[in-house]
Amino acid sequence: MIALLAINGQLRAQQTTTDKPRTTRILFLLDASGSMNAPWEGQPRWNVAKNLLAKMVDSLNAYPNLELGLRAYGHQHPNTENNCEDSKLEVAFARKNAAAIKQKLGTLKPQGNTPITYSLLQSAGDFPADKTARNVLILITDGLESCKGDPCATAVALQRKHVFLKPFVIGIGAEREFGKQLECLGQYYNAADVKTFRTILNDVINQTLAKTTVAVNLTDENGRPVESNVNMSFINNVTEQVEYNYVHYRDAKGQADVLDVDALQSYDLVINTVPPVRQANLPIKPGRANVLTYKTPQGTLNLQNPQLTPNPYGTVQAVVRAQGNPVTVVARGFGAKQKLLAGNYEVEILTLPRIVRRISIKQGQETVVTYDAPGTLNIISDLKGYGSIYRLNQDDSQTWVYTMPEGGSSKINLPMQPGTYRLVFRTATATGSQFTDVRPFTIRSGQTTSVSIFGK
């Protein structure tokens, strides 16, 4: 896992050119069950698999920062024993160990069961404890799990524990169509013939070792690369953990910078605009310079306080939602500015009473939202009681805005928006609803309005 660390007030980047190269460890998990003796284009599948694998490890022997390991299953007990723990790490991880792997391949004899789940679990202990390494598992099999295990759930659980990256699964032989049952394990390849198997094996190794980069273009509505300085999170969509956090950068020519990513993982990209933009299953091609483009036009919401000092409200909060969606996008205090994706929003201003404004945010433009300077309601009373305040609307209807403290003192000072209101109040000692008192009043900006309630 690459991390951002603050050391003595200075930031270290997630990855620099001076970092020590990461070790890549490839574990070949090889099916050596009895079915591998079946013929395949004139020779046993086992012979094809072990010969091509031997050539592959030979070609990797001098590769820097690479360690290989070999685990086989189904080779220690005959099929009649139905042994579901027939799995062994035959060659431990080491650099330049092609000779050891080739020698071991020459001694193995396929004969038993297909304990894929058990082998996956055992492979968790094959990889050394090294959080900086890239752990890769390549499963080569011609059959399905034969021991009632759940290899798919096991593979996902081990990925979530960061034991290894998403596995490669190479299904060999044309007799059985079992791809749909194994593709949940990881990245599945169907090698129906020997030539395809050879090509797939080479392709998998190239994906494992080739450098992959991604440049993310953030554009306006017309596709111009004008947006930047936005945090981007690359989320592993198997483990649901963040693999990379970057703050987007583009140079003076509008070119986004190039980021190194591990193509053996599958990602969702979250562009943390407000609201965020999420792209599932990024189309990243291993070994390529990938360029991904997303429209993220932004404008600015300016929450502007009215000209009144001091403001009896203090700091007024605003809640921003996309029109037609009750989910809060962001909440900010007045006096602040907030970048938003271009679109239509509702801004609920938490004054008394609350105000809802519909606004449109446009690319590169600033939209100002404010509210009227408040006045103050001063309720003077020597009585305790119950009551509410209503705003009077232009159609003579009323809207509730405030409930007075129940049974408590009615000596209250409230900053309120300008407008016409009524106070509805009944004393705690009154003996019926008919003794409810109704007092209309008007609030004006910057002024205090007093309403008096006294006992008779």
Q: Going residue by residue through the chain, which has 456 residues, state the pLDDT in tens, using 9 for 90 and above.
A: 233 333 343 444 554 434 678 899 999 999 999 999 999 999 999 999 999 999 999 999 989 999 999 999 999 999 899 999 999 999 999 999 999 999 999 999 999 999 999 999 999 999 999 988 999 999 999 988 889 889 999 999 999 888 999 999 999 975 556 777 788 888 999 998 999 999 999 999 999 999 999 999 999 999 999 999 999 999 999 888 999 999 999 998 889 999 999 999 999 999 999 999 999 999 999 999 999 999 999 999 999 999 887 888 989 999 999 999 999 999 999 999 999 999 999 999 999 999 999 999 999 999 999 999 999 999 887 778 889 999 999 999 999 999 988 765 557 899 999 999 999 999 888 899 999 999 999 999 999 999 987 654
Burial 414-453, CB ≥16 within 10 A → b, else e:
bbbbebebbbbbbbeeeeeeeeeeeeebebeeeeebebeb
Chain centroid to CA 130: 25
Alpha-carbon Rg for the chain in angstroms: 34
Q: What is the CATH number of domain 15-209?
A: 3.40.50.410
What pLDDT score was predicted for residue 40?
92
Task: Find tokens 């032989």 and name the residue.
Answer: 173
Q: What confidence score (pLDDT) does residue 231 get? A: 96
Pairing of strands 213-219, 259-260: antiparallel
Q: What are the structural domain ranges in the chain?
A: 15-209, 213-295, 299-369, 375-453
Structure tokens at 119: 């082998």
d(CA 137, CA 70): 10
- The residue assigned the tokens 């284009």 is 41
Number of H helices, E strands in the chain: 6, 31
For residue 407, the model assigns a pLDDT of 61
What's 238's DSSP letter? T
pTM for this prediction: 0.80
| DSSP conformation class of 264 | T
- What does the pLDDT read at residue 3? 36
CATH number for the domain whose boundaries are 213-295: 2.60.40.1120
Q: Could you give the angle at which helices 151-160 and 116-123 cross, rounded to 10 degrees?
A: 10
The length of the chain is 456
The pair phi, psi for residue 427, each rounded to 5°, is -70, 155
Strand, helix or coil for residue 173:
coil
Q: What pairing do the DSSP bridges indicate for beta strands 134-141 and 168-172?
A: parallel
Residue 409's pLDDT is what? 59
Q: Which CATH number fits domain 375-453: 2.60.120.330, 3.40.50.720, 2.40.30.170, 2.60.40.180?
A: 2.60.40.180
Angstrom distances, CA of residue 85 to CA of 32, 116, 144: 13, 10, 15
Domain 299-369 architecture: Sandwich (2.60)
pLDDT of res. 12 = 45
91 in Cβ contact with 69 (< 8 Å) = yes
> Are 15-209 and 375-453 equal in CATH topology?
no
Tell me the backbone φ, ψ of residue 243, rounded to 5 degrees.
Answer: -90, -40
Residue 6 and residue 21: Cα distance in Å, rounded? 22
